Amino acid sequence: MTSDSVIVRYGEIFLKSPYVRGAFTARLVSNIREKTKRHDVKVHVGRHRIFLKTYNADAVADEVSSVFGVKSASPSYSTDSDFEMLSKKVIEVCEKLLGANSFAVRARRSSDYIIKSQELERRLGALIVERFGNRVDLTKPDMTVGVEIQGDNAYVFLKTLQCVGGLPYGTQAAVAAHVASRNDALACWMMMRRGCTLAYAGGVEYLEKLNDFATPKMKAYESLDEAVKLGGAHAVVVGETFENIDYTRERSYGVPVFRPLLALDKVGVERLMASSKL
């Protein structure tokens, strides 16, 4: 049984004004299209969600997980929102994938759907118990059966990937960096996660790693000075911490210097490095 859709959720965009939220969502959609362009993907923007129609849902969800602005992604099975059709899809999915695990049903639906979320969870859970006899565990289930309903469409899913979050890449001004260390790369990753476009100078190793998160992919400038000038950078990013600050940088570059790692000790840097997947 193959999933045919991906539910994409975004977080911080909610906090923006309607105009900015619309612009950021449009950029996020553009970045998702760029990231998944080798797949056949159709994009639909719903209420607080982006839905991707594809027959490579697991691969697409994995690729979307490194798109800044995406909070989580779920490969899913789409169906009609009619309760009978939805029930059949839930039973079909559980028959193939639930096994002997305990479970809970978690449902979200648009406000115009006739059945309330908790009632929907109760009904679908009862159907699963009646059909398969699995134990319900609302506190620590072995598996969560997720259901999302928007308009005429419903989606059933059993797993959710936690993604990089942040703001969509390219929604903020450009910054430049000469990346010569893991700390430099991590500092750039942090600025990219806040939506900044990166004008990159440095070696190929770190360029390839950062390009996993850049949409579209970056090319390297030959020097930091060239990156600042030709890349239209408003600031320079460095990977310095309190232990190795060089205060002469501001005079050297002629633009502000950002130090995203400044407040982190070695343990904090390593923890962030691990979570960034660099």
Q: Is the pLDDT of residue 165 over 90?
A: yes
Task: Look up tokens 């979050």; give the residue.
Answer: 165
CA distance 201 to 1: 46
CA distance 85 to 71: 29
Per-residue confidence band for 8, with pLDDT thresholds at 50, 70 and 90? very high
Number of alpha carbons in the 13 Å side-chain half-sphere of residue 139: 0
Per-residue confidence band for 213, with pLDDT thresholds at 50, 70 and 90? very high
> Strand (E) positions, 67-169?
70-80, 103-109, 143-150, 153-157, 161-162
Q: Is the pLDDT of residue 264 over 80?
A: yes
CA distance from start to end of the chain: 33
Predicted pLDDT of residue 39: 95
Domains of the chain, CATH where assigned: 5-162 (3.30.2130.30), 172-276 (3.40.50.620)
Report strand pairing: 143-150 vs 196-202: unpaired
CA distance 12 to 14: 5
Per-residue confidence band for 14, with pLDDT thresholds at 50, 70 and 90? confident
**pLDDT single digits (tens) 190-201:** 999 999 999 999
Predicted pLDDT of residue 247: 79
Predicted pLDDT of residue 251: 75
